């Protein structure tokens, strides 16, 4: 047990029902590790309210995605006896605390977080994007602070939101002269864990990128995985080397190979050095197929039993509510509404 980890909280959006390889390597694999090493059960949320920031997401799709995502997390090795898995909207404390935090922040501060501009562009709604896209970081801060979180394992794409969370915790405690908010230690996976798009290795692999073949999902069949990786953009240099700046495509593949084999990038490079690009792609496909095949069959087994998935989420809701209740009472007393 690593006592320093304390309470762990993290989340994943069910905007797509199934995680991609970036989510798997950058978030889910570390979560599986933490459920065995953290002193307290890690709390992991299927953050459905965050997914509402995508106005194109249809209710029937979201409903199915929540099950798909829960089954995916379990299939990847998360064990409901070792961690708390719950659906964000079933614990209304998140939206309540989010509003209180909204009143502790400023418009200028939230506008300084630049991710919302990218999202507005991505949604193609420069004029009519939902306000939720802007205030998203405040809901994320509420998620984290409700559980007096110490450690947040996330990809580095989330670091501005975590910085805001830390600031808000400090501001809240100062303004209300209390110690209710725990300032979380920032634990962000390093840049090297960021998996890039297979079609454009200068940008990250993303659920919202619908370019064909840009991402591998954890449920892709072996033929699809091989086809996507075969088409991955690399470069014309036949000698392999690891250089994310100058050779993003090849380096991304080496990074995936290393992560899937649980070895360092330099050990991965030693293993693949003598290969040409096609051989590298075959080697990466082999390790990805090997790791994802059992996940795929476990996922389809779990999807047969919606009752079981509902029970997991219900138990998670109960455990999460117990903790969230305590914090919200303290918050309400501090701000003077209780």
The residues carrying an active-site annotation are 119, 204, 207
- CB closer to ligand TYM out of 153 and 238: 153
Judge whether 42 and 84 are in contact, CB under 8 Å.
yes
- CB closer to ligand TYM out of 25 and 133: 25
Of 181, 198, 220, whose CA–CA distance to 335 is shortest? 181
Judge whether 147 and 43 are in contact, CB under 8 Å.
yes
Closest approach of Cβ 147 to ligand TYM, in Å?
Answer: 10
- CB closer to ligand TYM out of 10 and 285: 10
Return d(Cα 28, Cα 24) in angstroms, integer: 5
The number of residues in the chain equals 338
- CB closer to ligand TYM out of 23 and 70: 23
Closest approach of Cβ 73 to ligand TYM, in Å?
Answer: 11
Q: Is 309 exposed, middle or buried (0-12, 13-18, 19+ CB in 10 A)?
A: buried
**The tokens of 112 are what?**
């300084």
- Residue tagged 């580095």 (tokens): 156
Stretch that binds ligand TYM, among 19-27, 308-316, 317-325, 327-335 (CB under 6 A): 19-27
Judge whether 102 and 131 are in contact, CB under 8 Å.
no
Does 12 contact ligand TYM by CB under 6 A? yes
For 302, other C-beta atoms within 10 Å of its C-beta total: 20
Closest approach of Cβ 9 to ligand TYM, in Å?
Answer: 6
Of 255, 239, 246, 262, whose CA–CA distance to 198 is shortest? 255
- CB closer to ligand TYM out of 140 and 334: 140
Closest approach of Cβ 35 to ligand TYM, in Å?
Answer: 16
Closest approach of Cβ 25 to ligand TYM, in Å?
Answer: 6
Stretch that binds ligand TYM, among 6-14, 98-106, 264-272, 275-283 (CB under 6 A): 6-14
Does 22 contact ligand TYM by CB under 6 A? yes
Closest approach of Cβ 282 to ligand TYM, in Å?
Answer: 22
DSSP state of 196: B
Judge whether 151 and 185 are in contact, CB under 8 Å.
yes
**The tokens of 61 are what?**
């799709």
Which residues between 127 and 166 bind ligand TYM (CB under 6 A)?
140, 143-144, 152, 154-155, 157-158
Return d(Cα 216, Cα 299) in angstroms, integer: 16
Does 324 contact ligand TYM by CB under 6 A? no
Which residues between 193 and 222 bind ligand TYM (CB under 6 A)?
193-195, 204-205
Determine which residue in the list 13, 87, 89, 285 makes contact with ligand TYM, applying CB under 6 A. Answer: 13
**The tokens of 37 are what?**
């090493």
- Residue tagged 């998360």 (tokens): 78
Q: Which residues here bind ligand TYM, judged by CB under 6 A?
A: 9-13, 22-23, 25-27, 47, 50, 140, 143-144, 152, 154-155, 157-158, 193-195, 204-205
């Amino acid at each position: 047990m690593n006592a320093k980890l304390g309470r762990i909280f993290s989340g994943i959006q069910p905007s797509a029902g199934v995680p991609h390889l970036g989510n798997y390597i950058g978030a889910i694999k570390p979560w599986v590790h933490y459920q065995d090493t953290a002193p307290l059960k890690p709390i992991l949320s299927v953050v459905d309210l965050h997914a509402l920031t995508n106005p194109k997401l249809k209710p029937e799709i979201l409903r199915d995605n929540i099950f798909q995502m829960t089954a995916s997390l379990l299939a990847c090795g998360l064990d409901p006896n070792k961690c708390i898995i719950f659906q964000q909207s079933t614990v209304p404390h998140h939206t309540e605390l989010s509003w209180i935090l909204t009143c502790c922040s400023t418009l200028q501060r939230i506008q300084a977080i630049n991710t919302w501009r990218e999202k507005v562009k991505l949604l193609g709604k420069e004029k009519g994007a939902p306000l939720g896209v802007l205030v998203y970081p405040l809901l994320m801060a509420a998620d984290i602070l409700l559980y007096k979180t110490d450690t947040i394992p996330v990809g580095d794409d989330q670091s501005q939101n975590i910085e805001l969370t830390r600031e808000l915790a400090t501001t809240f405690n100062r303004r209300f002269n209390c110690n209710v908010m725990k300032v979380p230690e920032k634990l962000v996976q390093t840049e090297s864990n960021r998996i890039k798009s297979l079609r454009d290795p200068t940008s990250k692999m993303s659920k919202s990128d619908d370019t064909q073949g840009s991402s591998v999902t954890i449920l892709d069949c072996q033929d699809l995985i091989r086809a996507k990786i075969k088409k991955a953009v690399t470069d014309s240099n036949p000698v392999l080397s690891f250089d994310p700046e100058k050779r993003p495509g090849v380096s991304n593949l080496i990074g995936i190979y290393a992560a899937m084999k649980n070895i360092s990038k330099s050990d991965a490079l030693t293993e693949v050095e003598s290969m040409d690009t096609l051989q590298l792609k075959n080697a990466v496909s082999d390790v990805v197929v090997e790791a994802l095949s059992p996940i795929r069959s476990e996922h389809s087994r779990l999807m047969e039993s919606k009752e079981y998935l509902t029970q997991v989420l219900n138990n998670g809701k109960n455990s999460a509510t117990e903790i969230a209740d305590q914090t919200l009472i303290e918050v309400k007393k501090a701000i003077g509404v209780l």
